[in-house]
Homo-oligomer: A and B are copies of this chain.
Amino acid sequence: MAKAMARPGGRSARVQEAVHAAVHELDAEVGRDALTVPLIAARAGVTPSTVYRRWGDLRELLSDVAVEHLRPETDPEDHGELVADLTAWAEQFLDEMASPPGRAYIRDALLGDPDGDNAGQCSAYAAEQIDVILRRATARGEQQQPDVETVIDHVVAPMMYRILFRPGALDAAYARRLVADCLERGRR
């Protein structure tokens, strides 16, 4: 997330946008590992010292950009039933997060984040999506749902843990199993 700006409108906002755009462009052109602050600054039409003063260093800048990529663009799809909604969402989440670019964004977001704000934001995104799904189920009158924290602990956390700490492959079946276990838990 962008740092709180004392002057949200005007030049500050333009600079921030230009820098973020430059990161996107150069990431696509030269690749994530070849990014440097002077390179990004030149593309953004800004001096390097501006970037250093605003973001501190390259890692914090990339962390900000990564969080933008991890923000979900739409609400989860409605399949008419809690199990289906949650399963579909978990499958898509795992698919996106476990992909090479997904892993890179997660790492960047966690990496350049001294106070944990960006990481907290990532978690909040997932929590919001889950909350939407659970509220929908409530509106339908479905009973015995788990709460958001339970879903995070038993569905999101295992997937993220494996993405970060386990080299191996992850498939949709794993996501389905986690969701099934989690819902069964609430019914027993």
Interface of A with B (CB < 8 Å)?
107, 110-111, 115-117, 119-120, 122-123, 152-154, 156-158, 160-162, 164-167, 178, 181, 185, 188
A116 to B100, CA, bound (A): 12
Is A165 in contact with B111, judged by CB distance below 8 angstroms? Answer: no
A111 to B111, CA, bound (A): 6
Is B107 in contact with A164, judged by CB distance below 8 angstroms? Answer: no
Cβ contacts A to B, 15 pairs, < 8 Å: A110-B110, A110-B111, A111-B111, A115-B167, A119-B166, A119-B167, A152-B158, A153-B158, A153-B178, A157-B157, A157-B160, A158-B158, A160-B161, A160-B165, A161-B161
What's the minimum C-beta distance from A90 to chain B, rounded to whole angstroms? 13
A110 to B153, CA, bound (A): 21
List chain B residues, Cβ under 8 A from A161: 123, 152-153, 156-157, 160-161
List chain B residues, Cβ under 8 A from A158: 152-154, 157-158
Taking A120-B167, A154-B154 as known contacts, 6 extra A-B pairs with beta carbons closer than 8 A to each other, sorted by chain A number, are: A119-B167, A153-B154, A153-B158, A153-B161, A164-B164, A185-B185
> Top 4 nearest A-B pairs by Cβ distance?
A157-B161, A123-B165, A153-B158, A157-B158
What's the minimum C-beta distance from A32 to chain B, rounded to whole angstroms? 11
When C-beta atoms are compared, the residue in chain B nearest to A121 turns out to be B165
